[in-house]
Structure 1
Amino acid sequence: MVSPGPLRLAAFALVLSAFAGTALAAEPETSKGDKPQSEKTAVDRPLGVVELFTSQGCSSCPPADEFFAELAGKDNIIALAYHVNYWDYLGWQDTLSTKENTERQYDYMRAFNSRSVYTPQAVINGRNHVNGASRKEVDGALARLDRTGEGMRVGIKVSRTSDRVMIDAGDAGNGPSDAHVVIVYFDPPQTISIGQGENSGRSLTYWNAVSDIQTAGMWHGKAQRYELPMTEIAKRGGCAVLLQSVGKDGMPGPILGAAFIRKPEPL
């Protein structure tokens, strides 16, 4: 499916304070938010990032949403679902869509020199796009990018104390030197009963539906630390950290590193 026309670009809010960090003594790791702060997971570089652009009003999207639920359950994949709003005119307003999600897809369209957007679209590592309902295409793209060195090249370590989350982006060595630190908030899983439109009468469960996108600051190829108040995480379903390069025209580029920040469990 193809959207009716382009939208304006997103303006992301700056929410984190960043300060230069010392070089990391060990390879960065990603900490699970539901573990004590002294514990870390063994996964510091996920296989890749899958950004699914989907809509409750798109008849082609349910198979992609079901496959995406599997991806969201994998520890080694950062899976994010962006619900878009350009299919709302078909009779059902997507309850999880935002203008910013739609704008991000249009930004990718320009970055890929494409002529249109479509759903379901899966953008892999910010580098290419495939049919989001095709397991073969998504899995193939992840494996190919990992094999060619276009996967997660920069480790990200996430740790926490009682009142803050620390995000340590690693050193790129001889690799890329500039990227944005992007924080992507998402909702917990939820089941939606769709009353009208192409999927009328269906109840579908959606995972990791993106609710907000914010840029934290810049990373310049060297180890650096960023901080986020724990209160921001506690009131959300969770969030992901993306280290994403940006072109001179402001369009999103390859994602160099990524990690999840999990919502702490209540005491």
Structure 2
Amino acid sequence: MKHFVLSLGLSLAAAAGLNSAPALAAGSCSAHSPAYRVALLELYTSEGCSSCPPADQYVSGLRAAGVTPEQAVLLALHVDYWNDIGWKDPFSHAAYSARQRWLTGLAGSRTVYTPELFVAGQELRGGVERWTGGVPAAVKRINARPAQADIRMTLGPASAAGLPVEVNASAARSGTLFVALVESGLASKVTAGENSGRLLRHDHVVRTWLAPVPLSAGGKAGLNMATVARTLPLPPGAAPGKLGVSAFVQSERGDVLQAFSLSVCGN
């Protein structure tokens, strides 16, 4: 496990400037979040980190262990601060490192490390051994709480032009809407660094991280609201059946008001 002491107060970066509005045609699918709160699990990881593969495998196995999409949204965010130590992680982005620093700062810590797991914006320490019992218990506690935001999502059919996405969020309190394109079933042959010679497999990997959108006041019934409408380019070689879109609303103090995910239509 590698530790870094970094300055805090950095703003969350935007991964891409994707501004094309989607064409939501026939074959689109829609869903909205439940009345209870869905847990948000964020794993901060890197292919350059020798202690990360067990954490990746743990998160990949959560669905088989009974943690359903209705209970928890899973995100694996590959940080970029390992990239100058022998191996450049193809799934890494500076925006994910910046978000990890922001979450760490909220907790009053200056230490950023991998692998690190956050559940509903709170760090869960102890590694895989403690996560095995701690994650299901945390998810159960979160699911027992009422949602404080509503998320409605519509996805168009995936095509060569991309994936049309529209996400609408509303809440009685202030917050920010985050939207990500997520891919599972990935594999990478690492040829340098701490994991040199290993074939690493990943699920729930964030491939596109849209610029966060603050909820604006003045919506229906006095609600704060936000909308994201984009056509997201598909990752090269991606199978639509391995893709999904995840969204969540988070307060400025880190409280996750609601999370939600939807698989690409027909999968």
Q: What range is the shorter-chain TM-score in?
A: 0.7 to 0.9
**CA offsets per residue over residues 231-257 of structure 1, 9 Å max, x none?**
32666843211111114xxxxx11111
* TM norm structure 1: 0.73
Alpha-carbon distance in structure 2 between the residues aligned to 1:138 and 1:114 = 21
> What code does the residue aligned with 1:228 have?
A
1:240 is paired with a residue whose SS is strand
Alpha-carbon distance in structure 2 between the residues aligned to 1:98 and 1:122 = 17
* Contact 1:152–1:255 (8 Å) recurs in 2: no
1:193 aligned residue (185, 189, 195): 189
> What code does the residue aligned with 1:180 have?
T
**CA offsets per residue over residues 205-254 of structure 1, 9 Å max, x none?**
1112223322133255726462413x32666843211111114xxxxx11
Kindly tell me: are residues 191 and 4 of structure 1, through their superposed partners in 2, closer, same or farther at Cα, counting changes over 3 Å? Answer: same
* Contact 1:154–1:257 (8 Å) recurs in 2: yes
Is it true that 1:215 corresponds to 2:209 in the alignment?
no
2:113 is paired with a residue whose SS is coil
Is it true that 1:241 corresponds to 2:253 in the alignment?
no
Percent of paired sites with the same residue: 26
How many residues of Structure 1 are paired with residues of Structure 2 in the alignment? 238
2:69 aligned residue (71, 75, 86): 75
1:102 is paired with a residue whose SS is helix
* Contact 2:28–2:156 (8 Å) recurs in 1: yes
**Which deviates more from structure 2 when the two are superposed, residues 254-263 or residues 86-95?**
86-95
Structure 2 gap ranges (5+): 158-162
Alpha-carbon distance in structure 2 between the residues aligned to 1:184 and 1:132 = 25
Q: What does 1:107-126 correspond to in 2, within 5 Å?
A: 107-126=102-121
Aligned to 2:160: none
**CA offsets per residue over residues 20-74 of structure 1, 9 Å max, x none?**
xxxxxxxxxxxxx9x9547647856563110000111212111111111123673
Aligned to 1:250: none
Aligned to 1:105: 100
Kindly tell me: are residues 64 and 46 of structure 1, through their superposed partners in 2, closer, same or farther at Cα, counting changes over 3 Å? Answer: farther
Aligned to 1:9: 11
Kindly tell me: are residues 171 and 216 of structure 1, through their superposed partners in 2, closer, same or farther at Cα, counting changes over 3 Å? Answer: closer
* Contact 2:216–2:226 (8 Å) recurs in 1: no
Kindly tell me: are residues 238 and 48 of structure 1, through their superposed partners in 2, closer, same or farther at Cα, counting changes over 3 Å? Answer: same
Superposed displacement of residue 156, structure 1: 1.7
Alpha-carbon distance in structure 2 between the residues aligned to 1:222 and 1:97 = 35
Q: What does 1:1-267 correspond to in 2, within 5 Å?
A: 1-6=1-6, 8-12=10-14, 36-37=27-28, 40=31, 45=36, 47-71=38-62, 74-76=68-70, 77-131=72-126, 133=128, 134-147=131-144, 149=145, 152-160=147-155, 165-172=165-172, 177-213=173-209, 214-220=211-217, 222=223, 224=225, 226-229=227-230, 231-232=231-232, 237-247=243-253, 253-264=254-265
Alpha-carbon distance in structure 1 between the residues aligned to 2:262 and 2:108 = 32
Alpha-carbon distance in structure 2 between the residues aligned to 1:94 and 1:246 = 29
* TM norm structure 2: 0.73
> What code does the residue aligned with 2:183 have?
D
Aligned to 1:25: none
Structure 1 gap ranges (5+): 18-32, 248-252
